[in-house]
Amino acid sequence: MRHNIKLTLAILAVFSLIAAAIIMAEATGQISGTVVDSQTNLPIAGATVLVVGTNRGAVTDSLGNFLIKEVPPGNYTLRISSIGFQTLELRKVVVTAASTNEIQTALTLNSKELEEKIVVSAEADLMDKFETSNQGAIIVGAGLLSRKSNIYISAPSLQFERGLPFPPAHGGTAIVNGKPYDAMFFENYGVNPFVDTEDDHFSTFAVDIDDASYILARAYLERGNLPEKDAVRTEEFVNHFSYNYKAPEEETFAVYLEGSRSPFGQNSQMLRIGIKGKKISEENRKPANLVFVIDISGSMSRENRLGLVKKALRLLVNKLNRNDRVGIVTYGSTGRVHLQPTSIANRERILSAIEKLQSAGSTNCDAGLRLAYEMSSRCFDKNKINRIILCSDGVANVGITGADELLKRIKKQADRGITLSAIGFGMGNYNDVLMEKLGNKGNGYYAYVDDIAEARRVFTDNLTGALQVIARDVKIQVDFDPEVVRSYRLLGYENRDVEDNKFRDDNEDGGEVGSGHSVTALYEIKFNKDAHKEQIGKIYIRYKNPETGFVEEINRPIETKIFDRNFAFSSPDYKLAAAAAEFSEIMRESYWARGSDLDDVLSLAGDVYNQTGQDDVLELMNLVTKARQLKQELASNDFQE
């Protein structure tokens, strides 16, 4: 009898839950719709649609469609955003119970002339299709979105984003191993473990200012795919963001330390080390002798990569000073001098030479670099910046194709004073491994460009910092006090590891820091119980002065009291670094991020955005949202199988 009563109550409880769910569904409505590109009418995949003031939102699928369920009745504002497009706010979106409000809207490409959000009203007639007027204004129902005509657009890049097929680089009709893109070359450098200070209390690494890994991951996510885990380097996610470190007025570097209990690591503290380089004004920048080495092989016609290279280099040339000179070398099956070194006083001649570039042939990177170094050697001036800028997808298939021989020559030339920066282009048939090594050994930097906006950031936003180095072979060593610190883990920098005993070996390669650049590193630290000392260790920074060649070294104590602050009251920059690091740790499937949740990363990034309103933080939120949806879709597919 008692068993029957319990069974009856259980059945009633189940029916109550079902009834409550039905009532809940009837008491709420839905918002569905499609987001398209205003210029091409093609759907935008991966756009974020948020119901402002709620935790409701969605990300558009490959057809640009979205569906937001269980929205309580009311009058809402939708915020629609996608990287590279102007953020759109649709107001007066009315939701009623048990109904679906269908929205069809268009986003316009972003430009410097359009910095404010576009805001329109969404009335009932918004369900009508948008149309584009002859004057280039976008009409959405009753709303008018005006835009200027000089918007930068890379149409071929957009075509690739829309999923138009390109033949696999190695033949056939399908991409092998279930990869979203063919012939993408990455290297797995492992993940740093916790190290007991009893075994090794020194942590030593070369600095890295590159952020190509973050941009590559962004390119994957924008196109509706999770990045390959080997493509993710934590330090490059962290160093993508500009933190509010104040540049020193006299010294080469200013050092900033901040700590708290780790928001993600279990039973550990987090330490952020930030260094900021001195800033040289644009008018005080040294004159530059630049040689552009441009890959014009057949693979550069995919997505019209060469077209994006040409646009990027035009931006750079237009930013250079009259005292600068530019030479151009191209390579396909062979290398060729395309333009002898030419003064910026003849800017139009340089721009015309860039415009005439066309792609064809195999990829003989070795031949192109040889000619470039010969040209740079003839023009070498120790009082100027002597820099080679390589623009390529990094896939060499003629001549010397291995990295070792190329790297030996590049390192030798870098020691002479002819540096190299490697700028990567392309998704599919792309060699991240070679491009990163070329930039590192060339004492320049490595960047990845996926659109014209990124080209502007790389080539023009801080041109002085990109060209003029303030410190060479920069290495950091942290000496943890074993009496205070039981163990530690450096987040990232696996491929920049330096043996402890080579920290003061000045033949050991380090990283380069340009004018106004900053470097950030994060540690997770576990303290010994009942340890009470004023310092947990000391940080040492060693580098070469590029003007004198002399080696300089500075050090700073790491005081225990910096860990007294609660994480909730830490600076927005500190929180942002933590969010970027954890995002990368999840994306590369780090052992130390098992059990971590992208929702927590999104919440933390949202907290930073509410405090700062920074566009790059909003972009991070969009990327985390897209990654979360893609992971959920994969988990759902696995479950169904």
28-151 and 286-446 agree in CATH topology = no
Residue 387, pLDDT above cutoff 50: yes
Higher-confidence position of 23 and 252: 252
> Given this model, what pLDDT does residue 119 score?
61
H-run or E-run covering 289: strand 288-295
Looking at residues 375-391, what average pLDDT do you find? Answer: 97
Phi first, then psi, for residue 338 (nearest 5°) are -95, -30
Alpha carbon distances (Å) from 604 to 34, 524, 579, 621? 29, 18, 6, 9
575-609: burial string, b at 16+ Cβ within 10 Å, e else: bbbbbbbbbbbbbbebebbeebebeebbebbbbbb
Residue 11, pLDDT above cutoff 70: no
Higher-confidence position of 43 and 587: 587
Three-state SS at 60: coil
**For the residues of 227-261, what is the DSSP string, one character each?**
PPGGG--HHHHHTTS---PPPPSSSSEEEEEEEEE
> Given this model, what pLDDT does residue 40 score?
67
> Given this model, what pLDDT does residue 143 score?
30
Q: Which residues pair with 293 in a beta bridge?
A: 329, 390
Side-chain-side CA neighbours of 401 within 13 Å: the count stands at: 9
Per domain, the residue ranges of the chain are 28-151, 183-280+470-640, 286-446
Looking at residues 213-225, what average pLDDT do you find? Answer: 95
Tokens of 490: 């450096």
Please state whether beta strands 253-261 and 269-277 pair in parallel, antiparallel, or not at all (unpaired). Answer: antiparallel
Looking at residues 284-291, what average pLDDT do you find? Answer: 97
The structure tokens 């075994």 sit at 199
* Euclidean distance between the first and the last CA atom of the chain, given in angstroms as a whole number: 42
Sheet with 100-107, edge to edge strand ranges? 65-71, 29-37, 100-107
Query: Do 543 and 503 meet the contact criterion of CB atoms below 8 Å apart?
Result: no
Nearest to 79 by CA among 88, 68, 92, 66: 88
pTM: 0.77
Above pLDDT 90, what percent of the chain? 63
28-151 maps to CATH 3.40.50.450? no
Count the neighbouring beta carbons within 10 Å of the beta carbon of residue 322: 10
> Given this model, what pLDDT does residue 173 score?
58
Residue 570, pLDDT above cutoff 90: yes
Give the confidence band of 639 by pLDDT, cuts at 50, 70, 90: low
Contacts of 384 (CB under 8 A, 6+ apart): 286, 287, 288, 289
> Given this model, what pLDDT does residue 395 score?
84
> Given this model, what pLDDT does residue 149 score?
26
Residue 316, pLDDT above cutoff 60: yes
Give the confidence band of 13 by pLDDT, cuts at 50, 70, 90: very low
Looking at residues 132-138, what average pLDDT do you find? Answer: 32
Per mean pLDDT, which of 65-69, 401-405, 421-425 is the most reliable? 421-425
* Least reliable range by pLDDT among 392-401, 467-476, 563-572: 392-401
CATH number assigned to the domain covering 286-446: 3.40.50.410
DSSP at 220: H
Residue 4, pLDDT above cutoff 60: no
**CATH homologous superfamily for the domain 183-280+470-640:** Gamma-adaptin ear (GAE) domain (2.60.40.1230)
Residue 150, pLDDT above cutoff 50: no
Looking at residues 339-343, what average pLDDT do you find? Answer: 97
Average pLDDT, the chain: 85
